[in-house]
Amino acid sequence: MNLNTNLLNELSELFVNDLRASQYYLQLSSDERNNLEQRLARDAARGGRPLLPGALLEDIQRTEQAAQHELGIDLPAELRDIFTEVDGFSENGVSLYGTDQDLPEEQAYGPTIIAENLSIWSTIPETARKYLFIGDSDLWYFACDLGANQWVVLSRVTLTSVHVHASAADMVNDMLSQALRIDAEAANDSSPVSDNAIDR
């Protein structure tokens, strides 16, 4: 399964609209605003998703090396493929961790997979080298169970598995749906439920 480009495009549009409504944007000079708009248009014309880019090859390679040296694990191939499409995001309490980039500290823009795993592993030592955490939300950790080679959703409270995804892409598509507040089951359900339906 591949990443859902419609969801990626929708998240990119949300980021662009949020930027345009921000105080930062409104306080830009007209020249600065025009330059920014031209850059966003160039990104879109090149087939990119403005404000939601894929990782650069050197950032993926740096992250692979850091995973081996700092975490003692190999980065799953599926995750490398995802990073080429989207280098992390944070929206509505859902985060997909990004690659480790060679940026000054003040330019870092989101949680990175190496730093987040080092933090989680030090806080919850029983997860070290058992799970590679790729993201989180208010309720869940999204991870690869390294021993079982499965993509699992874990309860943040109990660390029990509440769902197993068929692939990393399937998991990230679910994360995108949650970030965009799209009910994936309702979107796929063709039969309407009456207002007086009873949960069973």
**Mean pLDDT computed over 81-94:** 95
- Which one, of 105, 86, 104, 106, lies nearest residue 95 by Cα? 86
**Mean pLDDT computed over 66-74:** 96
- Residue 165 is predicted with a pLDDT of 97
- Rounded to 5°, the CA angle 104-49-43 comes to 80
Q: Is the pLDDT of residue 48 over 50?
A: yes
Model pTM score: 0.85
Q: What are 61's two structure tokens?
A: 């390679």
**Over the stretch 165-176, which tens digit does the pLDDT of each residue have?**
999 999 999 999
Q: CA-CA distance, 168 to 133, in Å (whole number)?
A: 12
Annotated domain spans of the chain:
53-185
The answer to whether residues 150 and 108 touch, using CB atoms and an 8 Å cutoff, is: no
Q: Is 91 helix (H, G, I), strand (E, B) or coil?
A: strand
- Which one, of 9, 164, 172, 15, lies nearest residue 79 by Cα? 172
- Residue 143 is predicted with a pLDDT of 98
Q: Please give the share of the chain, as a percent, with pLDDT higher than 70.
A: 86
- Which one, of 96, 82, 78, 81, lies nearest residue 150 by Cα? 78
Q: Does domain 53-185 have CATH number 3.40.1580.10?
A: yes
Q: CA-CA distance, 168 to 157, in Å (whole number)?
A: 22
Q: CA-CA distance, 127 to 123, in Å (whole number)?
A: 9
Give me the DSSP letters along 102-165.
---GGG--S-BHHHHHHHHHHHSGGGTTTEEEEEE-SSEEEEEETTTTEEEEEETTT--EEEEE
- The mean pLDDT of the chain is 88
Q: What are 66's two structure tokens?
A: 């850091």
